[in-house]
Structure 1
Amino acid sequence: MKNSARSENSRKSLNSIGLSSLLVIFVVLASVTLSVMCLITVRQDLDRAKRLAVTHEEYYSADTKATEKLDSLYLLLANDSVTDISAAARELGIEVTGGTRENRILTFSWSETVNSGSRLVCKAEYENENLVITSWKIISNNYYEEENSLPVWNGESLPV
């Protein structure tokens, strides 16, 4: 009897040691897994934040250059001694359409490169001695080109 009681006690202690070991191993594995997932997420967030910072820096650099051209344009228009505004604006790198200062609406447009994929396009109109900004936006340089198109069914015959 003593042997069977002893073997049962040793079995129970082995089972309890085995279950607690498995529980500890599971907790350690779960902790390591969650730690690795958190580390990966933090690194992705850091990379995303760095890319966002670079993008903002590129945009505000282009915005500063465009604003400097706008300031130069304001000074040019305020100077009454300048007779040919179109030529003076072109010297600043600003495209001009329209007539002269006295008789028509002048449209000024210029752009600054933000990065290889986009540029900042600015437009302003000058009428009745007022300069109004009509557009200040980012335009993508990436153009979609169709490579392989499928014929569209016209409702009458099946495309071949």
Structure 2
Amino acid sequence: MAKQENGYRANIGGPSLILIFIVMCLVTFGMLSLSTAKSEHNMAERNASAITEYYRADGKGEAFYQMVLNKVREVKEKGQGQTGTQDMLAQELGNYYHKEEQTVVTQIPMPHSQALFIELVPSFEGKGEVRISKWNVIPSEDYEIDHSMAVWTGEDLKKQETGK
């Protein structure tokens, strides 16, 4: 009987290693899934913030458009000829009105060095109208490229230093 017990041995090494490998794979994939979910959540929050800020600026732009439209209609009702209406509109709108181009321009600041640029063209036909020429987001600060770090251009360094 002693021979029968020695012949029957539990071989648990192979299945244990496979089970450990499977658990480690599941843990790794779980951690990658959590990391991806967190980064997508952060990106969604940044996107929501940017959209909220755009529509805040857009709302101010709509209010500006209505103000210009009302001023154009007021000036049109008073009517004193083409040059007289332009002078009156320049007085009513102040720095917003550019008499040379006959446009009304403003920039509404937004975060991250951006601004909503609005250019309107008033017309004194009919009751008085305002046409939107430009309505877009522009950078409000100049972007400066940092040239302080030496970048390898593919040339030999000795040639680059001596200029030969």
Using the size of structure 2 for normalisation, the TM-score is 0.74
* Partner SS state of residue 126, structure 1: strand
Q: 1:48 to 1:148 in 2, by over 3 A?
A: closer
Pairwise CA distance, 1:146: 4.3
Q: 5+ residue gaps in structure 2?
A: 80-84, 151-159
- Alignment-derived partner of residue 24 in structure 2: 29
The structure that is helix-richer by fraction is 2
- Alignment-derived partner of residue 39 in structure 2: 44
User: Residues 99-128 of structure 1, C-alpha deviation per residue, up to 9 Å, x if partnerless?
Assistant: 6xxxxx721101101114100000011234
User: Residues 69-123 of structure 1, C-alpha deviation per residue, up to 9 Å, x if partnerless?
Assistant: 1011111111123851112112xxx611126xxxxx7211011011141000000
- Alignment-derived partner of residue 119 in structure 1: 115
| Paired residues, number | 140
Q: 5+ residue gaps in structure 1?
A: 100-104, 151-157
Q: CA RMSD in A?
A: 2.5
- Alignment-derived partner of residue 89 in structure 1: 93
Query: Are the equivalent residues in 2 in contact too, given 1:106–1:127 (CA < 8 A)?
Result: no
- Alignment-derived partner of residue 137 in structure 1: 136
Using the size of structure 1 for normalisation, the TM-score is 0.75
* Partner SS state of residue 93, structure 2: helix
* Partner SS state of residue 148, structure 1: coil
Moved more, 133-142 or 45-54: 133-142
Could you tell me how far apart the structure 1 residues matched to 2:145 and 2:37 are? 38
Q: Which has the higher contact order (CA 8 A, sep 6+)?
A: 2
Q: Would you identify which runs of 4 or more consecutive aligned residues in structure 1 move more than 6 Å? A: none
Could you tell me how far apart the structure 2 residues matched to 1:60 and 1:50 are? 15
* Partner SS state of residue 134, structure 1: strand
